[in-house]
Structure 1
Amino acid sequence: MPLSARDHAAEGARPGRRRVLFAPVPITPTKPLTPSHIKGLLWADVISRATAVLADVDHLHSHTVAVANAQTLGFWAHLDAHHPGLDFSGLDEEHIGSLYVEFQRRRDGGAFGDLSAYHEAVARDGWLHPASSRVLDLWTRRWAELGMRDPGLTARRPPPATADEVLDLLARRGLCIDHRPSGGPVYLDATRHGLPLRQIMSAGRHANYLLGLLRELAPLVGSYDSVVLACDREAVPDYTLLAKVLTDLGAAVTLVGIGRVRLGGDLKSSRHGGWEGRTAAHLAEEFLPRVGPAIYRLGVRLYYIAVLGQGDREPFRPQLLWRCMARAKRLLDRPATGTGADLPEFLARHARPHPHVDPYRLTTALLTRNRPAPGRELLEKVLI
């Protein structure tokens, strides 16, 4: 049966409530959670949890998109070629991350080579290299320490559509230039919106992550009132293209772009290193024994969301993070004045006109002087 954008129905939706699909960009399991990752993940966690008070929210984490890409598969091939037999079970995420930086330096912009065997193993069996399996195990611990809801880090499920089904749908809608019949590549075509062509499948039939995202999202858009995408600002051009394509397929799309965190004045990608000693594991080691879980979880949200903001101008400053821990303690110690009945209206004020709650507006409201203390329900449902 041909795939359409309205073939799938949302499950468990409550009558009368809006249905929101939230799809933040997945992180590749090749490295520790750096300050930029932590920022993006905390923004995503607050968007998902706060919006869920107002609507039925499905938070999509794509295992396939996170691993079935050239960066991750190339790293696995590098490990097998240069570190055969290495036991990853006892390594921490920084050690594995240093091997990822080594891989990127060795590659230095060159081709990834033939990754078809790795891609087939992921597509057929959901296979993971032991290095990435170890990273995901460690990430599960970091998610719990940060008080984030696990969107399915280790869940392995095939996308609801095949690559051919999605490409056929796009071709029918005039959204791709398809040279497969002549053995050529496929380009996503949103030139009607003034955007450049973007290759999503090579002549060798290797798909990039955008096609993986479309395999996840295209069959679902008709089942939701709104689709909220979130990504780091470096991925905004690709996600803008994705949003236009999904809109042409019938979705109402909102895109949230989140800036990275400057480390020593730089905005380098994590593939270049520079995050050593400032990862989620180090944060937990430094703060959790001193302040406890509730203060830690609220403090990191105040810092990475309210203090750093949505942009990328502010550098990482540990002294301000300590101040946010002190502010979190004061907020938690004050008698709550809000009630559970106030929560939906309070959150709705920080959502309008968007389908999702704005984390920055929400957290900065907590830092405003002379504001009533937040109700316990807000803290427990959204912020700790």
Structure 2
Amino acid sequence: MPLRQPKPPLAAGHARRVLFAPVPVAPTKPLTLSHVKGLLWSDLVHRATGLLHHVDLLHSWTVGVRNAQTLGFWNHLDRTRPGADYSTCDEEEIGALYVEYQRTRTAGDVSASDGALHPAGARILELWATRLRDMGIAEGGLRTPTEPPIGLDGLVAMLVDLRLAVDHRRWGGPVHLDATRAGMPLRPLVAADGTANYLASVLRELVPRVRAYDDVVLACDRDSLPDYILVRHVLRRLGARVGLIGLGRVRTAGTRGRIPSSRHGGWQGLTAADLAERHLDRVGPAVYRLGLRLYFTGTLGHGDGRPHRPDLLDRCMGRAARVLKEQGPRADTAEALRAHARPHAYVDPYRLTTALLAQHRKAGADSNLLDEVYL
């Protein structure tokens, strides 16, 4: 089933220019249930909002690939497995090596890397491309190396001029992002040894771009929310209108309290590959894509309070089949989308999905909405 190409906004006269920048995933492990949730939400935001506005999707190669944890992992592989062939590995095999690396990592792991794509990372991205295609999500810039439009020194100088950074590098110290005037704590940006963290990479991507857009929409998991609130503050100081979507991770059986990061493992049997193996051939591509979206947006919602339940996912696949079989006439899609965007520039996937199901129960779901957003 081919992926649909974005179409011009339905109401071009009211369209705004929107930059949508969800936090990228590092290519070091399988796509877990939490990753699947984030990717599906981002896909719905991008496609639904794109029917109202001119939306550019930003996938940051620097944040997703050229970060300390990823580069450190690749250097670790080169030291411990010189010359290893990863071309036949699956995601779980490489992910297991990453989990082991996290248990033993050292601060000097990044120094030997030039940031080039490692064979293990290339294999992960190749496998992810298949998972995304199964889910009906376009790759975007997933496998396209890019450079941020501003260097680290230029970013720091700009932030210092805005009184948003404290730079102690001339004395051998670090750089901190400073939003204390807004009641937020100092946040490290560059360590004393010159190593910049992922937040610096996020700002290098966004700061030079925001003035070209009417709105910026950020999306991240809730563990990253404090950092992205800082990013939002910086962009607003630059005059941008910024929306921020924070999503809870997917809680699995037996998980209590804070949901651990995927870097610690625990995702065996609970990955995008496992979802496809269980459902795709049985229900077919269209039902699979819609069923995943009904489950990860309409059933699990924004938060992390509801644990993953395979039986509910099975029900969503069944409901997706009925929705596709009993489609209604094409409706005023633009007006429906606007109703689920207010007061934001972006369309809320939870509100849109629950409304789609309510519409299906009454008169059949809007076939245009299904085609352009959910399939």
TM range (shorter): over 0.9
Partner of 1:5: none
Structure 2's unaligned 5+ residue stretches are 1-7
Alignment of 1:221-370 (within 5 A): 221-266=210-255, 267-339=259-331, 342-368=332-358, 370=361
Residue 184 of structure 1 aligns to a residue whose secondary structure is coil
Question: What is the CA–CA distance in structure 2 between the aligned matches of 1:244 and 1:293, rounded to whole Å?
Answer: 41
Residue 94 of structure 1: aligned partner: 92
Identical pairs, percent: 56
- C-alpha deviations, 1:313-360, integer Å up to 9, x for none? 111111110100000000000142233xx1110111111011100000
Contact 2:76 2:109 in 1 (8 A): no
Q: Is the 8 A contact 2:174 2:191 kept in 1?
A: yes
Q: Aligned equivalents of 2:228 and 2:182: distance in 1?
A: 14
The 8 Å contact of residues 338 and 372 in structure 1, kept in 2 or not, is answered as no
TM-superposed CA distance for 1:294, in Å, is 0.2
**Partner of residue 156, structure 1:** 145
CA distance in 1 between counterparts of 2:304 and 2:23 reads 18
State the shift of 1:99 in Å: 0.7
Contiguous gaps of at least 5 residues in structure 1: 1-11
How far did 1:374 drift? Answer: 2.0
Counterpart Cα distance in 2 of 1:359 and 1:134: 31
Q: Structure 2 CA distance, aligned partners of 1:83 and 1:17?
A: 52
Aligned-partner Cα distance in 2 for 1:263–1:83: 32
Using the alignment, how far apart are the partners of 1:345 and 1:165 within structure 2? 43
Q: Distance in 1 between matches of 2:286 and 2:36?
A: 17
Q: 2:327, 2:165 → 1: CA distance?
A: 57
CA contact (8 A) 1:22 1:57 kept: yes
Report Cα offsets for 1:231-281 as digits up to 9, x if no partner. Answer: 000000111111101111111111100000111232221111111111101
The 5-angstrom pairing of residues 184-199 of structure 1 reads 184-199=173-188
The answer to whether structure 1 residue 375 and structure 2 residue 366 are counterparts is yes
Counterparts of 1:15 and 1:303 in 2: how far apart (Å)?
A: 34
Answer yes or no: is the 8 Å Cα contact 2:131–2:273 preserved in 1: yes
- The alpha carbon displacement at 1:285 in A equals 1.2
Q: CA deviation at 1:199?
A: 0.8
Tell me, yes or no, if the aligned pair for 2:327 and 2:367 is still in contact at 8 Å: no
Quick one: distance in 1 between partners of 2:173 and 2:287? 55
Distance 2:348 2:41 in 1: 9
Scaled by the length of structure 1, the TM-score of the pair is 0.91
Corresponding residue SS for 1:361: helix
SS in 2 for 1:50: helix
User: 2:4 is matched with which residue?
Assistant: none
Alignment of 1:208 onto 2:204 = no
Q: Is the 8 A contact 1:338 1:373 kept in 2?
A: no
Q: Indicate the RMSD between aligned Cα atoms, in angstroms.
A: 1.5
Cα offset for 1:205?
1.2
The 1-side partners of 2:266 and 2:14 are apart by 48
TM-score by length of structure 2 reads 0.94
> Do 1:265 and 1:315's aligned partners in 2 also have CA atoms closer than 8 Å?
no
CA contact (8 A) 1:31 1:97 kept: yes
Match of 1:53 in 2: 51
Measured in 2, the distance between the counterparts of 1:249 and 1:265 equals 44
Native 8 Å contact 2:30 2:124 kept in 1: yes
- Aligned mates of 1:317, 1:372 — CA distance in 2: 29
Q: Residue 116 of structure 1: CA displacement?
A: 2.6
User: Shift in Å at residue 41 of structure 1?
Assistant: 0.6
For 2:109 and 2:172, the matched residues in 1 are separated by 18
Q: Following superposition, which runs of at least 4 residues in structure 1 exceed 3 angstroms of deviation?
A: 12-16
- Contact kept, 8 Å, 1:70 with 1:112, in 2: the verdict is no
Report the Cα distance in structure 1 between the residues aligned to 2:276 and 2:68, rounded to whole angstroms. Answer: 31
What letter is aligned with 1:74?
A: G
Q: C-alpha distance in 2, partners of 1:352/1:189?
A: 32
Deviations 1:189-221 (A, max 9, x none): 111110000110011111001110111000011
Aligned residues: 362
* Displacement after TM superposition at 1:113 (Å): 1.2
Q: What amino acid is the match of 2:367?
A: R
Aligned to 2:110: 115
